[in-house]
A and B are shown apart, each in its own frame.
Chain A
């Protein structure tokens, strides 16, 4: 076991109102720190907006602007351009949005910003549902998961945001999670060295929404990676694929069994999910192989 050397200045403060054991708070702690203090952040309504603190207190030691739920990428654009107009081009603009604010209501404006290749880093804290309103379905909710608006389990699959954003041809799209902290921090830091629209989807197991014990969030995130449910990978310029955790070492069942939201799942549904994950994994491997064969493999991992 090697210690992870993290030397940066903390940006998240104690005293925030995240649930005990919240992986979103843990994740943003490291994401924000990787960005550094010369950063402004956009936080739409979400758990993150609660974590950000009650007026007049902020849990972030960088300025945060809270726009409406559907407008994060546009707000980030406005900040970016206003900073550019004031010759503050070195100041980073980041978005810390939830999956509802990204996959669903904020998707139109995110797509537009990505098409314009606006210069900001967009972090989607994907807890696979509207957790701040008590766990309802979003288009990031996976197949068969039970939520307040899908009490019998969701009938449709999860939207693949990473692939959609990669298809915009932006310079950097990646997935990460706090369970693989070194990888998360590396991607955050890597993103700061790129210009243009960068989108990182962060899997954030929600203790309450998924039905996990207080200390189980990281384990769930790791099981998601190990089972191939949430592969850790990067796509550069829309075509260069890199897989960061190469092994799919665990059946999906292991991952599901940690969570209350799948407790009702039938063996057939579990098999179906396994098949979906296998197919997605195979497709990802093909893309990784294709970019390697065509000499597109990125230089730095």
Chain B
């Protein structure tokens, strides 16, 4: 049968792909790798979104490897970090912030249990580097230098490494087995360890500078600040650091049963709680009101649980000896007014609010200053600290400083972070300069950038603690880690702010099929994208943004 000639007006012959609808748009979406609020808040540059993503996939080893890129102490930090990340977490504006520290502890504990080790440095470098101080900051610097292949000599005045982590923080908060495991793992990288080697005098430092290409000073803050109202010559007055040092060694000073502890930071809490464990009745006297104290909220709660009586917003005005042992502490309520700089403040006494506390001894833990004998004349200082720049640089090009000796930010993880920054700076001074991501100028991903629809609401796992009676019996760790099955579930709650999780939303929700999968992720097809912004709106991690186009 014959059929009519072709009728091209009746049936189609091709697809609309020849029509480039990209000309319609005014803005094009693009992928951004933006810092998460937790990452920016983290003193150790936590890359939290990445490692939590690995936990979500139950790749704990992968999570640990990301964690230790920045912090060699995940099990330690996972216990004692002041967790600024959780305060910044976008999830807190949705249901409750992610239990980041608990996840970190979980990963860190797994690493210890599994015996995961750091790989040897990929190459060895000739430049020798010295680190002074074997506390968190010095160990962190040594670790980062060593992983980059530098020969590192570590000078520590004490017989054991750890600094504040060993001599300040009690074992019920940081079990020594955990600390030792994390320190041993660093040492296994091959560090020239010089224990019992104090660098106290200018000539000690001069010798180091002659021998080493760069020196990182992380000597800590060993000199206790003292209350003018106390006579430290008396047997009933003692520094908090000294008390802790002896208590942590199992031999607390012999003091009467009623102890007054003065201070509002972690050290004061540690003294108070430690004293409870040695049977003392404890009253804690802090200038700040309870909500303003520098100690972490959970520490204060735990102290009160353990029977520490808190006298907040108060100070001792005078101590009167009554008989051989008993003291009368004449106190007054005060208004605590924080100053602009960290650590600065003033108080105003409230007239007529005087009260009295009976005690047998007073332990003051009101802060410490570094002992800067070694640097005298070599470096400039500011308010009793070594003056440093952003990358822990000092006024001498070969000297770097960090930790409590250079900062009033008296947190272990802050010290670890400074050690890392110093190591990177030293490395950069030797090698070509490198910039790391997450610079302070970058804006964190806001909650509004997260498509929260994709996240069911949930609560963070509850923090479980040892019963009070058992706590007071000894050194048992107070806080429990989260359960193994809880970790990936909690990691599911992470918004992965600013980190693409390859969820395909941008690809799947494009009405114009203008997003293509490519091996490294996704690509927006400018030929077809009409600029509607659905991909940006549906991104569950805030990893996309619209960029205006000028044509």
Contacts and interface: CB of A to CB of B under 8 A. Distances in A.
A and B touch in the complex (CB under 8 A): yes
Interface of A: 1-4, 6, 10, 12-23, 25-26, 29-30, 53-59, 61, 178-179, 181, 214-219, 222
Contact of B20 (A2, A15, A53, A61): A15
Contacts of A58: 12, 14-16
B511 A3 contact: no
Interface size class of B (residues with CB under 8 A): 35 or more
A10 B528 CA distance: 15
Contacts, number: 124
B480 interface: no
Interface of B: 8-9, 11-21, 24-25, 453-455, 492, 495-496, 501-505, 508-514, 525, 527-528, 530-534, 536-538, 540
29 contacts: A1-B455, A1-B492, A1-B495, A1-B540, A3-B501, A3-B503, A3-B504, A4-B505, A4-B508, A6-B508, A10-B513, A13-B17, A14-B17, A15-B16, A15-B17, A17-B16, A18-B511, A21-B532, A25-B511, A53-B16, A57-B12, A57-B13, A57-B18, A214-B531, A214-B533, A215-B532, A215-B534, A216-B537, A218-B538
A26 B540 CA distance: 18
3 closest A-B pairs by beta carbon, nearest first, are: A21-B532, A15-B16, A20-B530
B513 A13 contact: yes
Nearest to B8: A56
Nearest to A56: B13
A21 B530 contact: yes
A148 B14 CA distance: 36
Given A16-B21, A53-B15, 11 more contacts: A1-B503, A3-B504, A14-B512, A15-B16, A15-B17, A20-B530, A20-B531, A22-B532, A26-B510, A214-B534, A215-B532
B513 A21 contact: no
Contact of A20 (B24, B537, B540): B24
A15 B15 contact: yes
B531 A29 contact: no
- Decide if the interface of chain B is mainly helix, strand, loop or mixed: loop
A12 B513 contact: yes
Given A3-B501, A3-B502, A20-B25, A53 B12 contact: yes
Contacts of A61: 15
A15 B18 contact: yes
A297 B350 CA distance: 72
A88 B233 CA distance: 103
B17 A26 contact: no
B8 A14 contact: no
Nearest to B528: A14
B17 A6 contact: no
B513 A29 contact: yes
A215 B15 contact: no
Nearest to B531: A20
- Of the candidates A16, A19, A214, the one having the most CB atoms from chain B within 10 angstroms of its own CB is A16
B277 to A, nearest CB: 44
Contacts of A55: 9, 12
B529 to A, nearest CB: 9
A25 B511 CA distance: 5
- Of the candidates A10, A20, A61, A222, the one having the most CB atoms from chain B within 10 angstroms of its own CB is A20
